[in-house]
Amino acid sequence: MEFKHKSVLLDECLEGLAIRGDGVYMDGTLGGGGHSSEIIRRLVSGRLIGIDRDMDAIHAASARIKKITDETGGTFDALHGNFHDAPELLASIGVEKISGALLDLGVSSYQLDEGARGFSYHADAPLDMRMDRSQGITARDIVNEWSDKEIARILRDYGEENWAVQIARVLCDRRKKQPIETTGQLVDIIDAAIPKKVRQQGDGAHPARRTFQALRIAVNDELAPLEQALRDISGLLEPGGRLCVIAFHSLEDRVVKNTFKNLADPCTCPKSFPVCVCGKKPTVKLITRKPITASEEELKENPRARSATLRIVEKL
């Protein structure tokens, strides 16, 4: 399948990065290379490093961007790995500081559309959901091996699913009869666990959306390391360098918001103190007090941008 991807909040990200022609930039979630393709076009003698866990993304984006670098002065490096390990990955190619970074969190359009990857509840496929298929547990491992309490916990914590306990209970009953192997089986289980009346009175979203989100986050360990990753990447920025982060659900956005807020105002002194005595100084300033969201025009072209929020900080 061709790797297609509509870049969310593209113009806003490019403006937010304030790209210099001679700068060094990192796209920590390379995906199909949509954002990176436009960053590299703006580099005269600069450098772009793209990181992704998905080798399909690495190959597709590299081919796409090479066609552009053949006509421009910028250079491009693609690294297979997780942006959570950005300092080590960049150090491996001799990069210590960057002029800006972009993170487009969550699952890519390609991964959703490629049914065989198991991310989508619209296609019947093996329960995988790994962004990096060379390592880690799969969604199949979780639904067949974890206890009902553990499954309910991740559905509640990572999917904000009100019917987490019921879904976990039905799932565990079904797997006693036969292993849960496919996304189709999982969707049937969710339908059986959530009363029909509740499904009909919902917000219009697919009843499996929250469960699939929760499993994907658990499989790929997306949330737990995010705060430290944001701190590490902000530490890589040169003064004036910017970090732009796109989130797609409230759990991600909450981590981004709170981390950026703490980096911009780390003081732990009581509000009653006339001056700061803790000695903690801000390392960034907030460029966006409130998140940037997609315009109506973009939403008409790309409905998946509806839940996207962009937050930006600048290194002091």
DSSP string covering 15-83, please? HHHT--TT-EEEESS-TTSHHHHHHHHT-SS-EEEEEES-HHHHHHHHHHHHHHHTTSS-EEEEEES-G
Six token digits for residue 95:
């990069």
The answer to whether the CB of 30 falls within 8 A of the CB of 108 is no
Amino acid 1: pLDDT = 43
55: left (phi over 0), alpha (psi -120 to 50) or beta: alpha
Would you give the distance in Å from CA 43 to the centre of its chain? Answer: 25
Q: Coil, strand or helix: which one is 287?
A: coil
CATH class (in words) of the domain with range 10-106+223-315: alpha beta
Q: What is the pTM of this model?
A: 0.92
Beta-bridged to residue 202, according to DSSP, are none
CATH code of 121-220, in short, is: 1.10.150.170
The answer to whether the CB of 309 falls within 8 A of the CB of 243 is no
CA 182 vs CA 7, 133, 173: distances in Å: 29, 17, 16
Enumerate the domain spans of the chain. Answer: 10-106+223-315, 121-220
Residue count (the chain): 316
For residue 237, give the amino acid letter. Answer: L
Beta-bridged to residue 50, according to DSSP, are 27, 78
Amino acid 146: pLDDT = 98
SS3 content of the chain, % helix, strand, coil (to 5): 45, 15, 40
For residue 178, give the amino acid letter. Answer: Q
Amino acid 205: pLDDT = 78
Euclidean distance between CA atoms 291 and 143, whole angstroms: 35
Amino acid 204: pLDDT = 67
pLDDT tens sequence for the chain (316 residues): 455 556 899 999 999 999 999 999 999 999 989 999 999 999 999 999 999 999 989 999 999 999 999 888 899 999 999 999 999 999 999 999 999 999 999 887 777 777 789 999 998 999 999 999 988 899 999 999 999 999 999 999 999 999 999 999 999 999 999 999 999 999 999 999 999 888 766 666 789 999 999 999 999 999 999 999 999 999 999 999 999 999 999 999 999 999 999 999 999 999 899 999 999 999 999 999 999 999 999 999 988 899 999 999 999 9
Amino acid 3: pLDDT = 52
Q: Would the CA dihedral through 57, 58, 63, 66 be positive or negative?
A: positive
Six token digits for residue 137:
């547990």
